Amino acid sequence: MAQSRQIFSVRLMAYVLMDNHFHLLVETPLGNLSKFMRRFNITYTGYFNRTYQQVGHVYQGRYQSFLVEKESYLSEVSRYIHLNPVRTKDQEKKEGESRWNRLRRYPWSSLPGYLDPKIRKPFVDYAFVLEEFGGDTPPGRRAYQRRIMEDLSGELAPREKVIGQAVLGRDAFIDWVKKTFMGGLQVREVPGLTALKRYRKADEILEILCRETGSTREELMSKKHPHRASAMDLLYRAGGLTGVEIGEIFGVDYSTVSQIRKRLSRKMIHDRDGQKTMEGLNRKMSI
């Protein structure tokens, strides 16, 4: 990691290594994420195979990546990464103090270096994340620690806020990404950006649906509204929202959203009028 980071001028701000996966929070000023990851994965695979007398692949499939708006979500993503060691089934059942002790002692994570400068890794940039907490100072490090401890009992899930499986940020940032990075190398860096072109904002989808059905937003949210299921399905397909995000809009859990969408799919097989209505809505959404 240290060698790859240096070769490709990448800033590594957080990492965690788990039993079957790892997370990295990196900044690539040169737009060379794919080259950086390719070199890192190939060299580690070679090291692993030589050390353990193995052959073949170590990793399954391509890595997943998404863009993060630094000003709004950098700290949240770093904390999510650092909380991974206690997000396992056996750890979630334990008390807060036990889980915190595991976090601060977990050796395959950048978190210990955030808490104690004496045990830092030279290839990790700790200062950038700590700016939000007052800087890389004793008070700043204590503030970051307090936030991590608060997150232990919370529901920190930034991945559920990712738009189109590609971008995590506010609406203005997403609009900027669409306008600025929709061609060439940048799109290849984050494959999900190609899908982002066709996603609409949730408000736009609901506005179109209300206009086409002659409904108000409040009526569309009603359990008895005939197009409630269609709204959920369009938010998923045309908006790129997750089941959790759709559930938050309608005041239900993600499993209810999944069940409603499945029932709609089965219904559409034999409902010719429903199929025509959905096709018209799809054209309005450009999907």
Q: Strands, DSSP E only, in the chain?
A: 11-17, 22-27, 67-68, 167-168
Strands 22-27 and 11-17: antiparallel
28 backbone dihedrals φ, ψ, rounded to 5°: -120, 85
DSSP state of 3: H
- CATH class for the domain made up of 202-285: mainly alpha
DSSP state of 109: B
**CB-based contact 76:160 (threshold 8 Å):** no
C-alpha torsion angle, residues 46, 51, 57, 58 (rounded to 10): -110
- 26-54 pLDDT per residue, tens: 998 888 899 999 999 999 999 999 999 99
20 backbone dihedrals φ, ψ, rounded to 5°: -130, 15
Is the pTM above the cut of 0.85? no
Please classify residue 183 by burial: count the beta carbons closer than 10 Å to its beta carbon, then call 0-12 exposed, 13-18 middle and 19+ buried.
exposed
Nearest Cα residue to 192 out of 235, 231, 159: 159
Q: Answer yes or no: is pLDDT of 126 > 90.
A: yes
Q: What average pLDDT does this structure show over 90-115?
A: 89
- 157-205 pLDDT per residue, tens: 776 677 666 788 887 887 777 777 655 445 445 555 555 545 677 888 8
- 221-267 pLDDT per residue, tens: 898 898 899 888 888 877 777 777 888 889 888 888 888 988 888 88
Give the span between the Cα atoms of 67 and 75, in whole angstroms: 14
Q: Which amino acid is at 73?
A: Y
**CB-based contact 170:72 (threshold 8 Å):** yes
Residues of the chain with CATH 1.10.1750.10: 202-285
Which has more confidence, 241 or 81?
Answer: 81
